[in-house]
Amino acid sequence: FDVKKVMARRAAMELREGYIVNLGIGTPEYISAVASEEGCSDLFTLSTEAGNIGGVPTVGNDFGCCWNGEAMIETAGIFDMYDGGSLDAGCLGFLEVGPNGDLNSSKKEGLGIGVGGFMNIAGGAKHVVFISSFTAGKPEYQLGNGKLRIVRDGSKKKFIQNIAQISFSAEVALDQGKDITYVTERAVFKLTREGLLLTEIAPGVDLQKDILDQMEFTPIVDKNLKEMPSEIFQEQWGGLRAYMTKE
Protein backbone atom coordinates (compact mmCIF):
# COMPACT_ATOMS: atom_id res chain seq x y z
CA PHE A 1 0.00 0.00 0.00
CA ASP A 2 1.69 3.16 -1.23
CA VAL A 3 1.07 6.20 -3.45
CA LYS A 4 1.50 4.10 -6.61
CA LYS A 5 -1.47 2.03 -5.54
CA VAL A 6 -3.44 5.19 -4.76
CA MET A 7 -2.71 6.58 -8.23
CA ALA A 8 -3.59 3.28 -9.89
CA ARG A 9 -6.88 3.18 -8.00
CA ARG A 10 -7.79 6.74 -9.01
CA ALA A 11 -6.82 6.09 -12.62
CA ALA A 12 -8.90 2.89 -12.68
CA MET A 13 -11.92 4.96 -11.62
CA GLU A 14 -11.78 6.59 -15.06
CA LEU A 15 -12.35 3.26 -16.81
CA ARG A 16 -15.76 1.81 -17.61
CA GLU A 17 -17.27 -1.61 -18.14
CA GLY A 18 -16.59 -2.96 -21.61
CA TYR A 19 -13.52 -0.82 -22.26
CA ILE A 20 -10.51 -2.07 -24.20
CA VAL A 21 -7.52 -0.58 -22.36
CA ASN A 22 -3.76 -0.30 -22.86
CA LEU A 23 -1.47 -0.09 -19.85
CA GLY A 24 1.89 1.66 -20.23
CA ILE A 25 5.09 0.98 -18.33
CA GLY A 26 5.55 2.33 -14.79
CA THR A 27 2.74 3.26 -12.43
CA PRO A 28 0.04 2.45 -15.04
CA GLU A 29 1.09 -1.20 -14.80
CA TYR A 30 -0.41 -1.38 -11.31
CA ILE A 31 -3.93 -0.81 -12.63
CA SER A 32 -4.05 -4.49 -13.56
CA ALA A 33 -3.19 -5.54 -10.00
CA VAL A 34 -5.73 -3.11 -8.53
CA ALA A 35 -8.46 -4.38 -10.85
CA SER A 36 -7.64 -7.97 -9.91
CA GLU A 37 -7.66 -7.18 -6.19
CA GLU A 38 -10.99 -5.39 -6.58
CA GLY A 39 -12.52 -8.31 -8.49
CA CYS A 40 -13.06 -6.17 -11.60
CA SER A 41 -10.77 -7.83 -14.15
CA ASP A 42 -13.83 -9.30 -15.87
CA LEU A 43 -15.36 -5.89 -16.54
CA PHE A 44 -12.85 -4.74 -19.15
CA THR A 45 -10.11 -6.02 -21.45
CA LEU A 46 -6.53 -5.08 -20.68
CA SER A 47 -3.80 -5.15 -23.31
CA THR A 48 -0.11 -4.34 -23.59
CA GLU A 49 2.23 -3.41 -26.42
CA ALA A 50 3.80 -6.86 -26.19
CA GLY A 51 0.63 -8.31 -27.75
CA ASN A 52 -1.28 -9.61 -24.72
CA ILE A 53 -5.05 -9.28 -24.79
CA GLY A 54 -7.18 -9.97 -21.70
CA GLY A 55 -6.13 -11.47 -18.40
CA VAL A 56 -3.99 -9.64 -15.86
CA PRO A 57 -0.76 -8.07 -17.20
CA THR A 58 2.22 -8.43 -14.88
CA VAL A 59 4.26 -5.54 -13.46
CA GLY A 60 7.89 -4.57 -12.91
CA ASN A 61 10.59 -6.69 -14.57
CA ASP A 62 7.91 -9.16 -15.72
CA PHE A 63 6.03 -6.49 -17.70
CA GLY A 64 5.08 -7.94 -21.09
CA CYS A 65 3.86 -11.22 -19.58
CA CYS A 66 0.25 -11.85 -18.62
CA TRP A 67 -1.69 -14.07 -16.24
CA ASN A 68 -4.64 -15.97 -17.79
CA GLY A 69 -4.58 -14.00 -21.02
CA GLU A 70 -7.27 -14.60 -23.62
CA ALA A 71 -4.97 -14.13 -26.62
CA MET A 72 -1.49 -13.10 -27.69
CA ILE A 73 -0.74 -11.56 -31.08
CA GLU A 74 2.37 -10.07 -32.64
CA THR A 75 3.41 -6.59 -31.55
CA ALA A 76 2.79 -5.25 -35.06
CA GLY A 77 -0.75 -6.60 -34.86
CA ILE A 78 -1.50 -4.94 -31.53
CA PHE A 79 -0.29 -1.62 -32.92
CA ASP A 80 -2.54 -2.04 -35.97
CA MET A 81 -5.35 -2.47 -33.48
CA TYR A 82 -4.35 0.65 -31.54
CA ASP A 83 -3.80 2.78 -34.65
CA GLY A 84 -7.14 1.62 -36.02
CA GLY A 85 -9.08 3.16 -33.15
CA SER A 86 -9.93 0.04 -31.12
CA LEU A 87 -8.69 1.49 -27.83
CA ASP A 88 -11.24 2.98 -25.49
CA ALA A 89 -8.60 4.10 -23.02
CA GLY A 90 -4.85 4.35 -22.67
CA CYS A 91 -3.13 4.69 -19.29
CA LEU A 92 0.34 6.20 -19.64
CA GLY A 93 3.07 7.78 -17.53
CA PHE A 94 4.68 11.19 -17.97
CA LEU A 95 7.80 13.20 -17.10
CA GLU A 96 6.63 16.80 -17.51
CA VAL A 97 3.41 18.72 -18.22
CA GLY A 98 3.15 22.21 -19.68
CA PRO A 99 0.57 24.96 -19.00
CA ASN A 100 -1.65 24.03 -21.96
CA GLY A 101 -1.51 20.29 -21.20
CA ASP A 102 1.31 19.34 -23.60
CA LEU A 103 3.30 16.48 -22.15
CA ASN A 104 6.86 15.16 -22.26
CA SER A 105 7.48 11.45 -21.87
CA SER A 106 10.44 11.07 -24.20
CA LYS A 107 13.30 13.31 -23.03
CA LYS A 108 14.81 13.03 -19.55
CA GLU A 109 17.70 15.06 -18.16
CA GLY A 110 18.78 16.04 -21.68
CA LEU A 111 18.72 12.49 -23.01
CA GLY A 112 16.28 11.41 -25.70
CA ILE A 113 14.81 8.19 -24.35
CA GLY A 114 12.22 7.98 -27.13
CA VAL A 115 8.44 7.60 -27.13
CA GLY A 116 8.15 3.89 -27.91
CA GLY A 117 4.46 3.15 -28.48
CA PHE A 118 3.37 6.19 -26.46
CA MET A 119 2.25 8.23 -29.48
CA ASN A 120 0.28 5.34 -30.98
CA ILE A 121 -1.58 4.75 -27.72
CA ALA A 122 -2.19 8.42 -26.88
CA GLY A 123 -3.19 9.07 -30.47
CA GLY A 124 -5.43 6.04 -30.83
CA ALA A 125 -7.28 5.98 -27.51
CA LYS A 126 -10.52 7.89 -27.04
CA HIS A 127 -9.81 8.53 -23.35
CA VAL A 128 -6.24 8.95 -22.11
CA VAL A 129 -5.29 8.84 -18.44
CA PHE A 130 -1.80 10.14 -17.70
CA ILE A 131 -0.39 8.97 -14.37
CA SER A 132 2.68 10.04 -12.41
CA SER A 133 3.81 11.50 -9.11
CA PHE A 134 3.31 15.26 -8.79
CA THR A 135 7.02 15.97 -8.27
CA ALA A 136 10.25 14.05 -8.99
CA GLY A 137 13.37 13.62 -6.87
CA LYS A 138 12.48 11.25 -4.02
CA PRO A 139 9.40 12.81 -2.42
CA GLU A 140 8.23 11.21 0.84
CA TYR A 141 4.61 10.63 1.83
CA GLN A 142 2.58 9.43 4.76
CA LEU A 143 -0.67 7.58 4.19
CA GLY A 144 -3.28 6.87 6.84
CA ASN A 145 -6.84 7.52 8.01
CA GLY A 146 -7.95 8.25 4.47
CA LYS A 147 -5.50 11.13 4.04
CA LEU A 148 -2.22 11.97 2.36
CA ARG A 149 0.53 13.99 3.99
CA ILE A 150 3.53 15.29 2.06
CA VAL A 151 6.46 14.65 4.41
CA ARG A 152 9.05 15.96 1.97
CA ASP A 153 8.42 17.16 -1.55
CA GLY A 154 10.46 16.11 -4.54
CA SER A 155 13.39 18.25 -5.65
CA LYS A 156 12.08 18.66 -9.20
CA LYS A 157 8.77 20.05 -10.39
CA LYS A 158 6.92 18.21 -13.16
CA PHE A 159 4.28 20.83 -13.96
CA ILE A 160 6.51 23.44 -15.58
CA GLN A 161 6.44 26.36 -18.02
CA ASN A 162 8.67 24.83 -20.69
CA ILE A 163 8.75 21.07 -21.15
CA ALA A 164 11.84 19.49 -22.72
CA GLN A 165 9.98 17.84 -25.60
CA ILE A 166 6.39 17.55 -26.78
CA SER A 167 5.48 13.87 -26.83
CA PHE A 168 1.75 14.59 -26.64
CA SER A 169 -0.02 17.59 -28.14
CA ALA A 170 -2.94 18.85 -26.08
CA GLU A 171 -4.25 20.93 -29.00
CA VAL A 172 -4.39 17.94 -31.33
CA ALA A 173 -6.12 15.83 -28.66
CA LEU A 174 -8.76 18.51 -28.12
CA ASP A 175 -9.32 18.85 -31.87
CA GLN A 176 -9.90 15.09 -31.97
CA GLY A 177 -12.43 15.28 -29.13
CA LYS A 178 -10.44 13.15 -26.72
CA ASP A 179 -11.10 12.99 -22.97
CA ILE A 180 -7.76 13.64 -21.22
CA THR A 181 -7.17 13.19 -17.48
CA TYR A 182 -3.95 13.73 -15.49
CA VAL A 183 -3.79 11.72 -12.24
CA THR A 184 -1.21 12.24 -9.49
CA GLU A 185 -1.09 11.18 -5.85
CA ARG A 186 -2.35 14.59 -4.70
CA ALA A 187 -4.28 16.15 -7.58
CA VAL A 188 -6.39 15.35 -10.63
CA PHE A 189 -6.59 17.60 -13.69
CA LYS A 190 -8.75 17.62 -16.83
CA LEU A 191 -7.64 19.07 -20.17
CA THR A 192 -9.67 22.03 -21.43
CA ARG A 193 -9.21 24.60 -24.21
CA GLU A 194 -8.22 27.14 -21.55
CA GLY A 195 -5.55 24.86 -20.06
CA LEU A 196 -5.34 22.41 -17.16
CA LEU A 197 -8.39 22.36 -14.91
CA LEU A 198 -7.70 21.23 -11.33
CA THR A 199 -10.76 19.18 -10.37
CA GLU A 200 -9.68 17.18 -7.29
CA ILE A 201 -7.10 17.30 -4.52
CA ALA A 202 -6.15 14.63 -2.03
CA PRO A 203 -7.64 14.79 1.47
CA GLY A 204 -5.00 16.07 3.88
CA VAL A 205 -3.00 18.22 1.44
CA ASP A 206 -2.86 22.00 1.35
CA LEU A 207 -3.98 23.51 -1.97
CA GLN A 208 -1.49 26.37 -1.91
CA LYS A 209 1.58 24.78 -0.29
CA ASP A 210 1.37 21.25 -1.66
CA ILE A 211 -0.04 21.90 -5.13
CA LEU A 212 0.05 25.48 -6.45
CA ASP A 213 3.47 26.27 -4.96
CA GLN A 214 4.86 23.09 -6.54
CA MET A 215 3.88 24.19 -10.07
CA GLU A 216 5.61 26.73 -12.34
CA PHE A 217 2.26 27.87 -13.70
CA THR A 218 -1.17 28.44 -12.23
CA PRO A 219 -3.86 26.01 -13.37
CA ILE A 220 -7.55 26.79 -13.57
CA VAL A 221 -9.07 25.79 -10.24
CA ASP A 222 -12.52 24.29 -10.60
CA LYS A 223 -15.07 26.34 -8.72
CA ASN A 224 -16.48 23.00 -7.53
CA LEU A 225 -13.07 21.62 -6.51
CA LYS A 226 -13.54 18.27 -4.79
CA GLU A 227 -11.47 15.95 -2.65
CA MET A 228 -10.26 12.70 -4.13
CA PRO A 229 -12.20 9.82 -2.50
CA SER A 230 -10.75 9.27 0.97
CA GLU A 231 -11.33 5.51 0.73
CA ILE A 232 -8.60 5.09 -1.93
CA PHE A 233 -6.13 6.40 0.66
CA GLN A 234 -6.91 3.46 2.96
CA GLU A 235 -5.27 0.06 2.81
CA GLN A 236 -8.53 -1.74 2.03
CA TRP A 237 -10.91 -0.32 -0.56
CA GLY A 238 -13.48 -2.45 -2.43
CA GLY A 239 -15.18 0.38 -4.33
CA LEU A 240 -13.86 0.12 -7.90
CA ARG A 241 -16.75 -1.91 -9.35
CA ALA A 242 -19.26 0.82 -8.44
CA TYR A 243 -17.25 3.37 -10.46
CA MET A 244 -16.65 1.10 -13.44
CA THR A 245 -20.30 0.12 -13.80
CA LYS A 246 -21.90 3.53 -13.38
CA GLU A 247 -23.42 5.27 -16.38
Contact 70, 53 (CB under 8 A): yes
- CA terminus-to-terminus distance, the chain: 29
Dihedral angle over CA of 122, 123, 128, 129, nearest 10: 10
Active-site residue (options: 14, 29, 38, 49): 49
Contact 127, 181 (CB under 8 A): yes
Can you tell me whether residue 178 is helix, strand or coil?
A: coil
Is position 49 annotated as part of the catalytic site? yes
Nearest-angstrom CA–CA distance, 204 and 190: 21
Nearest-angstrom CA–CA distance, 162 and 198: 19
Contact 75, 50 (CB under 8 A): yes
Would you please indicate which residues are annotated as catalytic (active-site) residues? 49
